[in-house]
Amino acid sequence: MAVTAVQDNNKLVQYTKQINREYVRENLFSPYMSADLNAIIRLRMELKNGGEQMNIPFVTRLNGKGRGTGTLVGNEEKIDNYGMRVWLDWARHAVVTNKAEKHKDSADIFGEARPLLSDWGKELQRDELIEALLALPSESSPTNLGTDDGDRVNGLRYELASAAQRNAWNAANADRVLYGNAVGNYNATHATALANVDGASDKLGSTSISLMKRVAKTASPKIRPYKLTDGREYFVAFAGSFTFRDLKISLDGVNRDARPREGDGMEKNPIFQDGDLIHDGVIIREVPEISSMVSDRWTSLLTAGAASARVEPVFFCGQQAAVFAWGQMAKPTFRKEDDYGFVDGVGTEMAYGVSKMFKKPQGGTSLVQWGLLTGFFSGAADA
């Protein structure tokens, strides 16, 4: 029997119109961003009408003993104050096509331009905030400010800092940096302190969270809890996937036996559902991109621990740990040079600066991070 074969050019080709976009995580810092004075990440909008620098004033509490019946004149206390500068820079991106290419397109790829640009902006802000949390405070503007490689991360990026600069930051923040699970792991030389982080005994666990809380509460100036409810204090710690994994293992019994799960059954059962952990008044949130930063940018941490153990930072935050200073919120842009309507381009643009909050003590020269304790724990990648 002679079967008629359909020639290739006559075969029906069906293309799906549904574009499968790569999964892009929403900004996991968003719930802790606001304009409130007690926010972990403060949003400031003073430069929306123009300007390149923003000044953020700090005033510390009075700690003098005062006077009783003695003479008060001449014994007044100075108000310790400081102005922290944040520089803003632009971030822009766009895609372009023309009518000929759109005419060939079976899946409306260019129709995905706007959501893709939105995802790009979210990723950029998230990653730059993570970099700012580990950056070394600096009173100088970012190196690439106002260039094609504009830099919105204020401070000296960790991976670009010299050993001497890291040591200076380490010394200035000795009461708000923790290496592993022992205060005694600290050393004035940053690299030596990192080398004290043991791959087995310095994993992030329940005792680590309690230790970081005690260190934060006894630091001076104090790291204030971001939230007070009925006399209870709450801090927030942001951890990468591998340190978060170790913490979950440490809290396994607590999650299984003690966390409430009334009502929706499996929906609230921590055995089946993932999400934030809470221990000793500290909310611990997983931010997987912190682990990615160690792998891709902070590569010196890959072998920084004892016996070349991988080390990850954990950002233990109280009020005013960081600031997002906006000059212009993200807005869509469109290409003007359209070649008589033949070329189509769409983009986005925004202007902001992101920085950890810091202060120079009165009469001092060092810069102290304000509402943030930086912890370094072993965080081995999955084998």
HEC string of the chain? CCCCCCCHHHCCCCCCCCCCCCCCCCCCCHHHEECCCCCCEEEECCCCCCCCEEEEEEECCCCCCCCCCCCCCCCCCCCCEEEEEEECEEEEEEEEEEHHHHHHCCCCCHHHHHHHHHHHHHHHHHHHHHHHHHCECCCCCCCCCCCCCCCCECCECHHHCCHHHHHHHHHHCHHHEEECCCHHHCCCCHHHHHHCCCCCCCECCHHHHHHHHHHHHHCCCCCCCCEEECCEEEEEEEECHHHHHHHHHHCHHHHHHCCCCCCCHHHHCCCCCCCCEEECCEEEEECHHHHHHHHHCCHHHHHCCHHHCCEEEEEEECCCCEEEEEEEEEEEEECCCCCCCCEEEEEEEEEEEEEECEECCCCCCCCEECCEEEEEEECCCCC
Does the residue 342 lie in any domain? yes
- Report pTM: 0.88
Does the residue 140 lie in any domain? yes
235: tokens are 């801090």
Domain coverage including residue 160: 43-59+80-261+273-378
Does the residue 205 lie in any domain? yes
Per-residue pLDDT of the chain (383 residues; tens, 9 = 90+): 676 676 787 766 666 666 666 666 678 898 899 998 889 999 998 887 788 888 888 777 777 888 888 888 988 888 878 889 999 999 999 999 888 888 777 677 778 888 899 999 999 999 999 999 999 999 999 988 989 888 999 999 999 999 999 999 999 999 999 999 999 999 999 999 999 999 999 999 999 999 999 999 999 888 999 877 677 889 999 999 999 999 999 987 666 555 555 555 445 555 445 678 999 999 999 999 999 999 999 999 999 999 999 999 999 999 999 999 999 999 999 998 888 889 889 999 999 999 999 999 877 789 999 999 999 999 999 98
Does the residue 267 lie in any domain? no
pLDDT at residue 85 in the model: 93
Number of domains in the chain: 1
Does the residue 86 lie in any domain? yes
Does the residue 4 lie in any domain? no
Does the residue 35 lie in any domain? no
Nearest CA-CA partner of 315 in 173, 148, 124, 177: 177
Does the residue 21 lie in any domain? no
